[in-house]
Copies of this chain bind each other. A is one copy, B any other.
Amino acid sequence: MAEYTKTPTNKLGRLAKRGAYDYETVHSIINTCPVLHVSFNDPNQPFPVVLPMLGCTGNYSNPSSDPNTTEQDIYIHGYVSGRIFQTSKETGDEGLPITVAASHMDGLVLALAPFHNSCNYRSSIVYGYATLLTDPEERLYAMTLITNNLLPTRWEKSRNPATTAELNSTSILKVRVASASAKVRTGGPHDDRADWKNEDLRTGTWTGVVPVWLQWGEPIPGKDNGKVEIEGYIERWRVKENQKGRVYAYEAIQKDD
């Protein structure tokens, strides 16, 4: 199984049993997460800069390769203050060291004692070097990838090609992955034997998991929309996403922790 090498940077310490390093787990969490949190150091302040951005994994040299089994870069696009792009310009060829975080909440785990409450979740943390993408061909590849990662085939089904002005005014970061890991919590609550044997407590306190997922609702047409009937590929995507999210959240409860 293709996976990331454990290093002092990505190796999980506490609760290491929840750790995963394989491409499939790390990349799928990133590619299904609607918002990525991109963090980097700003020499002018003690606090890291964190930006919510859109992005996904890709492999430009082998576009049809499977992200579950092949090396990936991360392409990131977003309306940002520009600081990250400015800073990445200044860092030169090696690129700006950044950390990309993606997390899904899958359920609230309720135990007899608050101390044992937990959450079912999936999170990926990727460490890499970000550079501003300049090659027009690869920029087009990345924009198509990011658009279709949000809604499959939307790029082809909406106006394209992009105009030169659009291509020039869109900033895209390419992150060369240095190291990565994922952490996944599944299952139900685990209580202390003492609490569990406390009959009054046990029969008086509901314990279990409340599953949670992202629910995509009935689409609302924009004021200038001219397509009376919503296209089938949008509805099929929406229904499928809702089902995938729900199924994962419920299946996670049945898995061991």
Q: Which bucket holds chain A's interface residue count?
A: 35 or more
A166 contacts partner chain B, Cβ-Cβ < 8 Å: yes
Residues of B within 8 A of A204 (CB): 227
A206 pairs with B234, CB closer than 8 A: yes
Number of copies of this chain that the complex holds: 2
Among residues of B, the one whose C-beta sits closest to the C-beta of A148 is B114
Q: A14 to chain B: closest CB distance in Å?
A: 5
A134 contacts partner chain B, Cβ-Cβ < 8 Å: no
A211 pairs with B206, CB closer than 8 A: no
Task: Please report whether the interface of chain A is mostly helix, strand, loop or mixed according to DSSP.
Answer: mixed
Interface residues, chain A, CB within 8 Å of chain B?
Answer: 8-9, 12-15, 34-35, 37, 39-41, 44-50, 52, 54, 79-83, 97-99, 101, 103, 105, 108, 110-115, 117, 119, 121, 123, 125, 127-128, 143-144, 147, 150-151, 154-155, 157-160, 162-163, 166, 170, 178, 183, 188-189, 191, 195-196, 198-199, 201-227, 229-231, 234, 238, 245-246, 249-250, 253
